């Protein structure tokens, strides 16, 4: 019978992947259909960027923090990882090298195989780990980085802290993001902003959120959002490079509408200004000055242009 899903072009085709301790061709990095994670969504992943630095040598941005978060996610989910952190970090730099990337997006994933069978309760299972990488340009488009995006508050609530645990970057919980994103993109917006079950702003479908209002920057506290590594980097940049106060506290929906500026942060989305939310212009309806300034500082850091932040770069030589 004909395979109805056969695609002409796959963005990963021809690349090398590290899987369960070995480097293999992407086409051979196969997963059994009854892998536990495929059925129930128990798994953890990371999204990491590697940038070409000014010296021409690629550097992975905040590799240690990403791997720490991956291991924290697995601890929360009670998945035991059969590798040391160093082995996974080495696999990541090797994947960049083998694929000869100058810049790329790297996706490590830890998931449960089929050795323990299926069923919600499994005791003895095989943990599988893979690292792949591919070129991924501006997540929301180049124009989004320059001019800002149009966002909409989703009708789907972000999960309660005791439903999924937001500190873990777990595969299954992204269904919530997928539903929210599709809901708003299908009606012409670029990104979905999600509120918690009490109505406070949490984050976007795949980014943390910041507002600049009354001369001060605010972002929701970690109790309700993914501990974003870009979020952490931007907080440090604001504290060290500007005189603006940054607070981690609750933000309401109407605070978004009257903010002078709003921007999103994430590995994929980097620092993306928001120019409109729910048909209300944010500030003057263009990418804000502070947002663009922080974006500029961020891009300079990831490209190795600021010596103070060299600690965040792992060069791939």
Catalytic machinery residues = 169
Does the footprint of ligand PPE cover residue 250 (CB under 6 A)? no
Does the footprint of ligand PPE cover residue 158 (CB under 6 A)? no
Does the footprint of ligand PPE cover residue 219 (CB under 6 A)? no
**Which of residues 10 and 118 has its CB atom nearest to ligand PPE in the complex?**
10
Among 53, 208, 272, 295, binds ligand PPE (CB under 6 A): 208
**Which of residues 125 and 202 has its CB atom nearest to ligand PPE in the complex?**
202
What binding mask, one character per residue, do residues 23-62 give for ligand PPE by CB under 6 A, x or -? Answer: ------------------------x---------------
Does the footprint of ligand PPE cover residue 190 (CB under 6 A)? no
Count of alpha carbons within 13 angstroms of residue 232, beta-carbon side: 14
**Which of residues 122 and 157 has its CB atom nearest to ligand PPE in the complex?**
157
Does the footprint of ligand PPE cover residue 267 (CB under 6 A)? yes
Among 16, 150, 231, 275, binds ligand PPE (CB under 6 A): 231
Contact assessment for residue 109 and residue 269, using Cβ atoms and an 8 Å cutoff: no
Does the footprint of ligand PPE cover residue 177 (CB under 6 A)? yes
Contacts of 72 (CB under 8 A, 6+ apart): 167, 168
Contacts of 238 (CB under 8 A, 6+ apart): 217, 244, 246, 294
Does the footprint of ligand PPE cover residue 151 (CB under 6 A)? no
Which stretches does DSSP call E strand in the chain?
Answer: 16-19, 22-25, 43-45, 48-52, 58-61, 104-112, 127-134, 149-153, 191-195, 201-204, 208-213, 216-219, 245-248, 261-266, 270-277, 280-281, 313-315
Q: To the nearest whole angstrom, how small is the minimum distance from the Cβ of residue 293 to ligand PPE? A: 19
Among 168, 230, 291, 295, binds ligand PPE (CB under 6 A): 230
**Which of residues 109 and 122 has its CB atom nearest to ligand PPE in the complex?**
109
Stretch of 12-20, 72-80, 141-149, 263-271 lying at the interface with ligand PPE (CB under 6 A): 263-271
| Residue in 175, 166, 170 with CA at minimum distance from that of residue 110 | 170
Distance of CA 60 to the CA centre of its chain: 14
Cα-based angle 290, 304, 248 (whole degrees, multiple of 5): 40
Q: What is the distance between the alpha carbons of residues 291 and 261, in angstroms, rounded to a whole number?
A: 7
The count of residues interacting with ligand PPE (CB under 6 A) is 16
Contact assessment for residue 276 and residue 136, using Cβ atoms and an 8 Å cutoff: no
Give me the helix-helix angle, 63-77 and 85-98, nearest 10°.
Answer: 130
Does the footprint of ligand PPE cover residue 176 (CB under 6 A)? no
Contact assessment for residue 281 and residue 149, using Cβ atoms and an 8 Å cutoff: no
Does the footprint of ligand PPE cover residue 168 (CB under 6 A)? no
Q: What is the distance between the alpha carbons of residues 28 and 40, in angstroms, rounded to a whole number?
A: 24
CB atoms within 10 A of CB 75: 14
Does the footprint of ligand PPE cover residue 172 (CB under 6 A)? no
Does the footprint of ligand PPE cover residue 191 (CB under 6 A)? no
Does the footprint of ligand PPE cover residue 295 (CB under 6 A)? no
Q: To the nearest whole angstrom, how small is the minimum distance from the Cβ of residue 117 to ligand PPE? A: 29
Residues of this chain that interact with ligand PPE (CB under 6 A) are 47, 177, 203, 206-208, 226, 228-231, 265-269
């Amino acid at each position: 019978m004909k395979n109805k899903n056969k695609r002409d072009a796959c963005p990963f085709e021809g690349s090398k992947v590290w899987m369960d301790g070995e480097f293999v061709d992407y086409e051979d990095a196969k997963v059994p259909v009854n892998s536990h994670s495929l059925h129930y969504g128990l798994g953890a992943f990371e999204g990491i960027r590697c940038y070409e630095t000014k010296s021409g040598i690629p550097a992975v941005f905040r590799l240690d923090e990403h791997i720490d978060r991956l291991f924290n996610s697995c601890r929360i989910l009670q998945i035991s990882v059969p590798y040391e952190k160093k082995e996974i970090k080495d696999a990541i730099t090797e994947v960049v090298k083998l694929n000869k990337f100058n810049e790329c997006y790297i996706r490590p994933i830890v998931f449960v195989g089929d050795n323990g069978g299926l069923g919600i309760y499994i005791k003895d299972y095989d943990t599988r780990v893979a690292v792949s990488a591919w070129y991924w340009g501006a997540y929301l488009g180049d124009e989004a980085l320059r001019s800002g995006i149009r966002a909409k508050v989703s009708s789907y609530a972000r999960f309660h802290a005791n439903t999924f645990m937001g500190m873990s970057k777990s595969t299954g919980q992204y269904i919530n993001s997928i539903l929210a994103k599709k809901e708003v993109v299908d009606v012409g917006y670029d990104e979905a902003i999600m509120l918690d079950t009490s109505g406070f702003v949490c984050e976007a479908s795949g980014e943390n959120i910041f507002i600049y209002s009354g001369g001060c920057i605010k972002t929701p506290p970690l109790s309700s959002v993914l501990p974003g590594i870009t979020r952490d980097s931007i907080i440090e940049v604001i504290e060290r490079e500007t005189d603006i106060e940054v607070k981690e506290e609750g933000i309401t929906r109407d605070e978004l509408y009257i903010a002078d500026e709003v921007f999103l942060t994430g590995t994929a989305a980097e620092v993306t200004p928001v120019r409109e939310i729910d048909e209300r212009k944010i500030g003057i309806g263009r990418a804000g000055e502070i947002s663009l300034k922080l974006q500029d500082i961020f891009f300079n850091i990831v490209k190795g242009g600021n010596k103070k932040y060299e600690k965040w770069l792992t060069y791939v030589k």
